[in-house]
Chains A and B, each alone.
Chain A
Amino acid sequence: MNVLAFLIPVSLILGGVGLAAFIWTIRSGQYSDPDGDAARILMDDDKPSDG
């Protein structure tokens, strides 16, 4: 049963990474304009300065 001492923290940390990524996407406003973002990905010249 010693393996549990590794597996449980590992599974929690991996889940936590996913949660942290999700929180980041919310915080940075990536759901505030779904229609616009869907269209922007098709534009190849939307950020010419980053070119």
Chain B
Amino acid sequence: MTSACAACNAAPAAIRLAEAVEPNMTLSVPGMSCAACIGKIERGLDSVPGIAAPRVNLTLKRVSLNTELPVEDVTARIAELGYEAFPLDAAIVGQDADPAGRDLALRLGVAGFAMMNVMLLSVAVWSGAADATRDLFHLISAAIAVPVVGFSGQPFFRSAWSALKVRRLNMDVPISLAILLATGMSVFESLNGGSHAYFDAGLSLTFFLLIGRYLDHRTRASARSAARELAALEVQTAERLDGQGRAHRTPISDLAEGDLILVPTGGRTPVDGALESAAALTDRSFLTGESDPASLACGDPVSAGEINLGAPFRLRATSVGEDTTLRRMARLVEGAEAAKTRYTGLADRAAQIYAPAVHLLALAAFAGWLIISGDVRFSLNVAIAVLIITCPCALGLAVPAVATAAIGKLYEHGFLVKSGTALERLAEVDGVLFDKTGTLTVPGVAGLTDVLDAKQKSVALALAQSSSHPVSRAIRDGLSGIAPAPVTDIRDVPGRGVEGRLGGVQVFLGRGQDGLTLTIGGNEHPLRQDETLRPGAAEAVAMLEKSGLHPALVSGDAESRVRALAKKLDISDATAEIGPDAKHELVTNRSADGSRFLMVGDGLNDTAALAAAHASLAPSSAMDASRNAADIVLLREGLSDLPLLLAIARKSTRLSRQNFAIAAVYNLIAVPIALLGFATPLIAALAMSASSVTVLLNALRVRRPS
């Protein structure tokens, strides 16, 4: 029992701590992925004076805290801890993690509670309770059911009402009608001492459908708008230089065209502009996909969002605010995402056939029995039985249940599926478009272990550790496991590399006369920079080709490198030196020709293409914005499970269709019974539960190896 108590105490303690100080700053930390990160970041931030109550949310990969310090100090502190952090606009992000999910869970809990109690009361009625006892049970059931239906059914009522307002039918119209009529008629029957009370049916309908709705919501909870995250990439303040050359910290929104702006080392450029300094070195991989840093001369254009890798430089603003490249890309992504939400999923297509059919059937039953029997009450009962027994809950569960099982299975293989209809769209693709840098390849330095001896390696590691340049990171990864040399006086040589002292010897890592060089006391050791193939990439491409899915390569990198990789992987369709706009255009053009592509990419330059493609996948090493634009995020290093992803997507779509067929078979049996007037509340409850459970069990088959 002690362990259970410790667990109980932990949660309230955490809540007290979080509530004591309201957080006023939220940062996105995409790099944290493990239990150790939580403690490291929270303790690391807690020890800083002026920062209170740092709290990590590992699910959303965010840190919230209370501080009066400028945001740069906080990101610098997190960078010291070894994580990259981006400030999020608190107004956009909101403090509450998932209010809609909480709301659905609450309604689900209430409906579940009411359903269990009313079911138990119904058992007594079905077992033969009569007269006053039966009426008492009915009235107690009514007292529970009416308020609960009013509360828990709201998501369906609202959705049905908004569809009816624009004169359309969706799945929620027959559902709402069935719930409301069943409850209303049951109240009437209970008050008049009748036997046809459908409280349990109405409540279990609400409960089962809320499960479907909640599962559906959970699969999408982590998917937030990519455009919002893109906005978070922008720096919030800039150093504006006045006439005397003094720097003033200015909010981005106050900048105007023609302003002179200072961009510090490691900072992101706040606006599009032209370079005023003699030279600069920037990382613009997010725009072009090119792996090498860009060397710029005076007058060259610089886009918002580029990272200054060299000395601080001055920039003359040419376009600000909504006109910057970053903003234009955000709008492109937004547009593409809006187009994707217009995709009609299986469930919606089923609803378009199902909803009118059910209404006509119920109406016909009512009219028919009214003519035959002349009894309004009995005719209405039959119509309600038809509405309930047509199993809308099995239909409501058909897709979400399969999607949830498939998404769980894919998660075990390292795929995080974010979009509800992603699996259906994935099952329809006939080709795969790959980005090159960061997707099929990962940056690397060739032959580190062969070229350098132990001492040189430890020096290289010590120098690489102090720089955030992509190549330094690759060296750091390539040399993991050895101890760094005690190099002192490490400093950046802007635009060239890093230098330091080891004992009395000068050491340097960076651009030498012929490329990347490690220099120790005047002796140069050239290092060869290259890209290594992502593990599993070759197998995945070969298997896709074999299964008839046409793989293609689109990259912003140089023609020669793209050709070389295409040849190595045996890809015949390769496009090189293509910008983000052109990439997006290529995807839309090919889609217009009737092709349906799975886009696999990682850079910001892929973001618009990812959003525009029929389905999209981004590796977890991708930029935050690309991960958010993609339907699916690959959490593992290797690509070899890509064919498996497509296989599971196709299997889950097949099972969803089967589920609709199962629901249809139940309807074929139950509807005639209801139409003939033989349906009792017991038969309705049995038919509904049986069909829902069958559909759920069928959905679980997606987890079986095929």
- A residues with a Cβ closer than 8 A to B are 1, 4, 8, 11-12, 15-16, 18-19, 22-23, 26, 28-37, 39-43, 45-47, 50
- The total of chain B residues at the interface (CB under 8 A) is 36
**Interface SS of chain B:** helix
Q: B117 contacts which chain A residues (CB < 8 A)?
A: 11-12, 15
Q: Give the complex CA separation of A33 and B97 in angstroms.
A: 8
Which of B39, B42, B57 interacts with A33 by CB under 8 Å? B57
Which of B38, B98, B136 interacts with A40 by CB under 8 Å? B38
Q: Is A40 a contact of B35 with CB atoms below 8 Å?
A: yes
**Further 6 A-B residue pairs, CB within 8 A, beyond A1-B133, A26-B105:** A28-B12, A29-B15, A31-B102, A33-B58, A40-B38, A43-B35
Q: Does B116 make an interface contact (CB < 8 A)? A: yes
Q: Is A45 a contact of B39 with CB atoms below 8 Å?
A: yes
Q: Is A47 a contact of B109 with CB atoms below 8 Å?
A: no
Which of A26, A36, A40, A46 interacts with B109 by CB under 8 Å? A26
Q: B13 contacts which chain A residues (CB < 8 A)?
A: 47, 50
Which of A8, A15, A16, A33 interacts with B59 by CB under 8 Å? A33
Q: Does B505 make an interface contact (CB < 8 A)? A: no
Q: B132: nearest residue on chain A (CB-CB)?
A: A1
Q: Give the complex CA separation of A39 and B39 in angstroms.
A: 10
A-B contacts, 28 listed (Cβ < 8 Å): A8-B140, A12-B117, A19-B109, A22-B109, A22-B113, A23-B109, A26-B109, A28-B12, A28-B15, A31-B98, A31-B101, A31-B102, A32-B59, A32-B97, A33-B59, A33-B97, A36-B57, A36-B58, A37-B11, A39-B58, A41-B7, A43-B35, A43-B38, A43-B39, A47-B10, A47-B14, A47-B17, A50-B13
Q: A1 contacts which chain B residues (CB < 8 A)?
A: 133
Q: Give the complex CA separation of A9 and B554 in angstroms.
A: 68
Over the window 10-29 of chain B, the binary record of Cβ atoms lying under 8 Å from chain A Cβ atoms (1 yes, 0 no) is 11111101000000000000
Q: Does B106 make an interface contact (CB < 8 A)? A: yes
Q: Give the complex CA separation of A41 and B9 in angstroms.
A: 11
Q: Is B109 a contact of A15 with CB atoms below 8 Å?
A: no
**Interface SS of chain A:** helix
Q: B10 contacts which chain A residues (CB < 8 A)?
A: 40-41, 46-47
Q: B144 contacts which chain A residues (CB < 8 A)?
A: 12
CB distance from A4 to the nearest CB of B (A): 8
Q: Does B120 make an interface contact (CB < 8 A)? A: yes
- B residues with a Cβ closer than 8 A to A are 7, 10-15, 17, 34-35, 38-39, 42, 56-60, 96-98, 101-102, 105-106, 109-110, 113, 116-117, 120-121, 133, 136, 140, 144
- Contact of A46 with B38 at beta-carbon distance under 8 Å, contacts A8-B140, A33-B57 already known: yes
Q: A33 contacts which chain B residues (CB < 8 A)?
A: 57-60, 97
Closest 10 CB pairs of A and B: A39-B35, A36-B58, A32-B97, A19-B113, A35-B59, A35-B58, A22-B109, A33-B57, A33-B59, A26-B106
Q: Is B140 a contact of A36 with CB atoms below 8 Å?
A: no
Q: Is B101 a contact of A15 with CB atoms below 8 Å?
A: no
Q: Give the complex CA separation of A16 and B144 in angstroms.
A: 11
Q: Is B116 a contact of A15 with CB atoms below 8 Å?
A: yes
Q: B102: nearest residue on chain A (CB-CB)?
A: A26
Q: B35 contacts which chain A residues (CB < 8 A)?
A: 39-40, 42-43
Q: Is A19 a contact of B14 with CB atoms below 8 Å?
A: no
CB distance from A22 to the nearest CB of B (A): 4
Q: B109: nearest residue on chain A (CB-CB)?
A: A22
Q: Give the complex CA separation of A17 and B520 in angstroms.
A: 72
Q: A50 contacts which chain B residues (CB < 8 A)?
A: 13
Q: B15 contacts which chain A residues (CB < 8 A)?
A: 28-29
Q: A28 contacts which chain B residues (CB < 8 A)?
A: 11-12, 15
Q: Is B97 a contact of A29 with CB atoms below 8 Å?
A: yes
Q: Is A39 a contact of B11 with CB atoms below 8 Å?
A: no
Q: B105: nearest residue on chain A (CB-CB)?
A: A26
- Contact of A39 with B38 at beta-carbon distance under 8 Å, contacts A15-B116, A23-B106, A33-B59 already known: yes
Q: B99: nearest residue on chain A (CB-CB)?
A: A32
Q: Give the complex CA separation of A45 and B192 in angstroms.
A: 64
Q: B113 contacts which chain A residues (CB < 8 A)?
A: 15-16, 18-19, 22
Q: A31 contacts which chain B residues (CB < 8 A)?
A: 98, 101-102, 105
Q: A39 contacts which chain B residues (CB < 8 A)?
A: 34-35, 38, 58
